[in-house]
Amino acid sequence: MKRFRRHGHESHRDRLKQELFQFSKTVEHGFPHQPSALGYSPSLHLLAIGTRSGAIKLYGAPGVEFMGLHDENAAVTQVHFMPHQVEMVTLLDDNSLHMWTLRAHKGLSELLEIGRFMLTGPPGAPPSVTRVTAVLAHSSGELLLLGTEGGHVFVVEVPGFRELEERNISLDQVSNSVPDDYIGRRNLEHVEALHENPTNPSQVVIGYGRGLMVIWDLEKQCAIQHIPATQQLESVCWTEDGSYILSSHSDGSYCRWRVGGQDETEEEEEEEEKSDIPYGHFPCKAITKIVQLPTTEGPPFLLFSGGMPRASYGDRHCITVIHRKIHVALDFTSRIIDFFVIRDGPEHTGDPSVLLVLVEEELVVVDLQTEGWPVIQTPYLVPLHSSAITCSQHVSAIPLKLWERIIAAGKLQNMHYSDKPWPIIGGKNLAPDPAQRDLLLTGHEDGTVRFWDASGVCLYPLYKLSTAPVFHTDADPNDNMNQSAEGEWPPFRKVGCFDPYSDDPRLGIQKIHLCKYSGYLTVAGTAGQILVLELNDESAEQTVEAKVVDLLQGQEGFRWKGHTQLDVREEPVQFPPGFQPFTLVQCQPPAVVTALSLHSEWKLVAFGTSHGFGLYDYQQKNTVLIKCTLNPSDQLALEGPLSRVKSIKKSLRQSFRRIRRSRVSLRKHHVNNPTKLQEANARLEAELAEMELAPVQRKIEARSSDDSFTGLVRTLYFADTFLSDSSHNTPSLWAGTNGGAVYAYMLRLPTVEHRADEPVTAQPAKEIQLMHRAPVVGVVVLDGHGAPLPEPLEVAHDLARSPDMHGSHNLVVISEEQFKVFTLPKVSSKMKLKLTAVDGSRVRRVGVAWFGSNRTEDYAESALVFLTNQGDVHVVSLPHVKMQVHYPCIRREDVSGIASCVFTKHGQGFYLISPSEFERFSLSTRFLVEPRCLVEAPLHLGSSNQHRAEPDGATSAHRTTQHREDAESAARCVMEHALLNDEQVLQEIQKSLEGDQMSFLENNVKKAVV
């Protein structure tokens, strides 16, 4: 590289850059923020989730993921897969309908939007006439029935979205035939539900908000039967055999209605039409959805959501499952969005096997075939934010041994999960197996550290470490989920793991450092606690002693007004297998730990707060060094952390949100008057505009030593380098502060034989005060080759080239404003790269990464990657600190996203796009984790129709052939329609012809193989 530079081959360097760096956002891990709709295709075995921000996400077998985003920034309110097809229809809050498909391209499927549609009413009609409230994707796969707020049902042909006006079912047609004695016939209200007869595709039931249900024959264009329910309707379910309809109502009742009543005797009808309020007597909340599913032997499953007694359990989010004598009210911690049941059998017609519930904050999957209905661990869509994420660390290339031990420890924690394999198995994951095992560690507000398998597309939970047992907390350990007493009514059972309410904000994890070779882990928290933990495969009883370290070092005139330290349990505590704490260092004052570093080879841990930093020898359990970095005039640092305040605010906000949410959930979407909404939006916008008009001014002033928090320790770094002279390298500790100071200490470690008894000493060696006084966010020492020093134990494990100790080392100091290279051992400025002075951005996150060329296997170089406060990621070369590439990555307004960013050693990174989702991005051409998967259309399009139509007997064969013809003509119609009305669709079709042909070919080949 040097040679190229010397010869001025800039073009060569440019080419090399292209081989090394490329930016892409690859996959979103975790649970979608604010989900608003759920869909499931039994034929594709795919799950779809729509969100309030207009995103649509598809999930199949682990690793099979698709994501799409509607151009409109409107919430997805409904998702419906077209039966037996790869198409999907979404309904948005703005009343637009969208058609999506999975199209194969170069052997991989892509999620594409292929059409959009908005119902147009007759001229002059109020918007409610065409406001869609119910959607039925007809089993023929060619029709969409759209029920509206005005009470009409529009019939639309898909995929071209052609309105079939002659087949529309207008309110007048229906209300004319309503029996005169029906009390609500004057106003049937909106269409609440549309359901198809499972045994006869030409019959649909139209449920009106007022309660009336009408069975309508699509072919004869007439009402067959009226079901005169009088309660406000919430949902409708047609039983599998087509003989009953279940309706649920706003008063918490549900009714069973016999279908085809004309032929039956009066008595029988009386018997069958039973109504029930399951949690009766006192007023109950609405049952929002009801499903009844048969079993091959024995009574059917009945599942419904809601219906709780309003006064006593009105705030619970429950789904009740009733089978035989078993009656359980699954109690969720957040609002239920929707649920469905997966059934056995290739055609999705067997026994119910799994209940899948989408709640606001997580996806809960309940195994209905195993005794006790245990929960199945989800391989994706895991709520990262089950307690708020406070920090994260990424560890690349975990040795197999450690990996297996962590998995083993995690398995013991997951004993309560069902063994049933993951039921959603659609699509094929074609991504190559991950090249290495990567761990992502997330620290949480409740004092837990979660270990995630971040090697592939699925961020899979491996193990959860809780630090709370070390301390006395307010929470009673017995006060957990299993509080329901025997015989309680309703029979609640808590499910799900989303629990954002922290017992004690001081437990929050602030910094994590795992040594992947030794299995030592150190975590530090909000109240100045630093725990050193060791991986142990056996459970053990230990007493954790706290070593108090006074970082103020006798400075007078302090009054710490922040939180107190946590009370340590003095009695021995039983720790389960996994990471077990053996040392606790308690900083005094107990301020948030702001920097942490572990050197497992030297058995030292360094930690820093806003008051100073310390070095602790965890083998001898002895403090080696304490350095106070505090500026005596810095009152803010003395009085206490802001995080505590923030935390209280946060929890308050959360509880208010919870209250509000439960209120919002009372009213359903279509009750909202759209004009009112618009008004509210306009008002909000005006308010926002006003806020923006308020004068904002910024002071322009040079930084001085009197600024607040100059003593805050931002970074700590261990290095074996030349600190005193250029012939002897010694261990050293480096610390950088918020005030632009760097402190270097020379460490003297006893020989291995005397490590346990001779003291470790630290002597101050160097101090650097950067003139620009910007916070020092990183310190890196480069070896004689200009490569960053390897991690501790890396060389010992033969995983890294040993550093070049012959050439002269260099020190790279990364401040928020610039990158500076100094020589070692005599510190003098060598070169630098200014960032802020040139473009006004500041370094927020920085990491050292290794980039391999995608062209040749043997070329790679180290570089610094960093994220600025403007949300851009940059790559800076080492050792010459030259800007290489930069890409916009995060919106600059997304402060929490920028703060959450973490880089991997191989040029990837993660940041939170919502409290519950990590976005993974990659800067490297060689290391890239992205979903690569293929979903094929169901092979036998006609056969399932045949199967379903069997009960109808002889007519079915005729009907299917007719369907075929219809399908062909429909396709023609679509083409014509597209040609005539929508050039865009035409272009889409033309553009994708190639891809279609390919997938078609592939399908044929597969058919042949079968």
Does 345 bind another protein (CB under 8 A)? Our answer is no
Q: Which is nearer to another protein, 422 or 887 (CB)?
A: 887
Structure tokens of 766? 């160097």
Considering only residues 857 to 876 of the shown chain, the ones binding another protein according to CB under 8 A are 869-870
Rounded Cα gap, residues 354 and 338, in angstroms: 14
845 interacts with another protein by CB under 8 A: no
Indicate the pairing of strand 200-208 with strand 191-197.
Answer: antiparallel
Residue closer to another protein, measured from CB, 349 or 724: 724
Stretch that binds another protein, among 338-346, 366-374, 525-533, 838-846 (CB under 8 A): 838-846
Q: In this chain, which of 827, 899, 937, 998 binds another protein, going by CB under 8 A?
A: 827
Q: Does residue 770 touch another protein according to CB under 8 A?
A: yes
Q: Do you find a cis peptide bond into 159, omega within 30 degrees of 0? A: yes
- Residue 751 binds another protein, judged by CB under 8 A: no
702-741: contacts with another protein (CB under 8 A): 702-705, 724-725, 741
Contacts of residue 964, defined as CB under 8 A and 6 or more positions apart, other chains included, come to 942
Q: Tell me the per-residue interface mask from 569 to 608 with another protein, x by CB under 8 A, - otherwise.
A: ----------------------------------------
Residue 99 tokens read as: 């058609």
The window from 283-291, 400-408, 445-453, 549-557 that contacts another protein (CB under 8 A) reads 549-557
Instruction: Please pick, from the candidates 480, 622, 673, 969, the single residue that binds another protein as defined by CB under 8 A.
Output: 622
Structure tokens at 834: 């200014």
834 binds another protein (CB under 8 A): yes
φ/ψ of residue 692, rounded to 5:
-70, -25
Helix axis angle, 941-949 to 955-981, nearest 10°: 140
Q: Could you say which of 268, 537, 767, 950 contacts another protein (CB under 8 A)?
A: 767
Q: Which is nearer to another protein, 153 or 833 (CB)?
A: 833
Nearer to another protein, 827 or 860 (CB): 827
Based on CB atoms, which residue is closest to another protein, 232 or 808?
Answer: 808
What Å distances lie between residue 201 and 163, 963, 969, CA to CA?
19, 12, 19
* Both structure tokens of 326: 């078993």
Which two structure tokens, joined as six digits, stand for 795?
């060389």
Amino acid present at 519: G
896 binds another protein (CB under 8 A): no
Q: What is the DSSP letter of 315?
A: T
842 binds another protein (CB under 8 A): yes
Q: Which stretch binds another protein (CB under 8 A): 90-98, 336-344, 616-624, 872-880?
A: 616-624
Q: Minimum distance between the CB of residue 989 and another protein, rounded to whole angstroms?
A: 40
Alpha-carbon separation of residue 345 from 41, 46, 60 (angstroms): 14, 16, 17
The one-letter code for the residue type at 562 is G
Residue 829 binds another protein, judged by CB under 8 A = yes
Shortest Å distance, C-beta 927 to another protein? 31
Among 91, 514, 765, 985, binds another protein (CB under 8 A): 765
Q: What is the DSSP string of 656-677?
A: HHHHHHHHHTTS-GGGS-HHHH
Of the candidates 28, 82, 85, 24, the one whose C-alpha atom is nearest the C-alpha of residue 51 is: 28
Q: In this structure, which amino acid lies at residue 138? A: H
Sign of CA dihedral 371, 377, 379, 382: positive
- Could you tell me which residues come within 8 angstroms of residue 536 by beta carbon, excluding any fewer than 6 positions away? 575, 577, 578, 579, 580
Residue 44 near residue 61 (C-beta atoms within 8 A)? no
> By CB under 8 A, is residue 550 in contact with another protein?
yes
Q: Residue 112: what residue type?
A: L
Q: How far is the CB of 235 from another protein (least distance, A)?
A: 49
- What the block records as the tokens of 288 is 């929002």
Contact flag: residue 700 with another protein (CB under 8 A): yes
Question: Which residue from 624, 716, 781, 970 is in contact with another protein, where contact means CB under 8 A?
Answer: 624
| Residue 543 CB contacts under 8 Å (≥ 6 apart), including other chains | 570, 571, 572, 573
Query: Which region, judged by CB under 8 A, interacts with another protein, from 13-21, 349-357, 534-542, 622-630?
Result: 622-630
CA 328 to CA 493: how far, in whole Å? 7
Window 252 to 271, contacts with another protein (CB under 8 A): none
Task: Confirm or reject binding of residue 838 to another protein (CB under 8 A).
Answer: yes
837 binds another protein (CB under 8 A): yes
Interface with another protein, residue 611, by CB under 8 A? no
Distance from chain centroid for Cα 46: 18
**Nearest distance, CB of residue 616 and another protein, angstroms:** 11
Q: Which of 421, 554, 557, 953 binds another protein (CB under 8 A)?
A: 554
For another protein, the binding residue among 411, 826, 855, 991 (CB under 8 A) is 826
CA triplet 526, 530, 535: central angle to 5 degrees?
A: 125
Q: Is 631 in the site for another protein (CB under 8 A)?
A: yes
| Interaction of residue 836 with another protein, rule CB under 8 A | yes
- Closest distance to another protein from the beta carbon of 674 (Å): 34
Q: How far is the CB of 596 from another protein (least distance, A)?
A: 19
Q: Does 126 bind another protein (CB under 8 A)?
A: no
Binding segment (CB under 8 A) for another protein, from list 180-188, 215-223, 817-825, 952-960: 817-825
Residue (of 263, 236, 262, 258) closest to 248 by Cα position: 236
Which residues face 918 on adjacent strands? 29, 912
Stretch that binds another protein, among 160-168, 596-604, 802-810, 821-829 (CB under 8 A): 821-829
- For residue 491, give the DSSP letter: -
Query: Phi/psi class of residue 817: alpha, beta or left (left: φ > 0; alpha: ψ in -120 to 50)?
Result: alpha
Rank residues 405 and 842 by Cβ distance to another protein and give the closer one. Answer: 842
Q: Is residue 621 near another protein by the rule CB under 8 A? A: no
Task: Indicate whether 840 belongs to the interface with another protein (CB under 8 A).
Answer: yes
**How far apart are the C-alpha atoms of 98 and 91, rounded to whole Å?**
7
Strand ranges (DSSP E) for 484-539?
492-494, 509-514, 520-525, 529-536
312 binds another protein (CB under 8 A): no
Give the residue from 293, 344, 348 showing the smallest Cα distance to 83.
348
Selected from 488, 679, 839, 968, the binder of another protein by CB under 8 A is: 839
766 near another protein (CB under 8 A):
yes
Q: Tokens at residue 78, please?
A: 């409904």
Residue for token pair 């209200």 = 189
Query: Nearest distance from residue 576's CB to another protein, in Å?
Result: 35
User: CA 700: distance to chain centroid?
Assistant: 40
CA distance 376 to 357: 12
Which CB sits closer to another protein, 212 or 552? 552
| 557 belongs to the binding site for another protein (CB under 8 A) | no
Q: Is 137 in the site for another protein (CB under 8 A)?
A: no
CB of 760 to another protein, least distance (A): 11
For another protein, the binding residue among 400, 771, 954, 1010 (CB under 8 A) is: 771
Q: How far is the CB of 553 from another protein (least distance, A)?
A: 6
- Other beta carbons less than 10 A from residue 993's beta carbon: 10
The contact set with another protein (CB under 8 A) reads 550, 553-555, 622-628, 630-632, 695-705, 724-725, 741, 746, 761-772, 774, 817-818, 820, 822, 826-829, 832, 834, 836-842, 869-870, 892
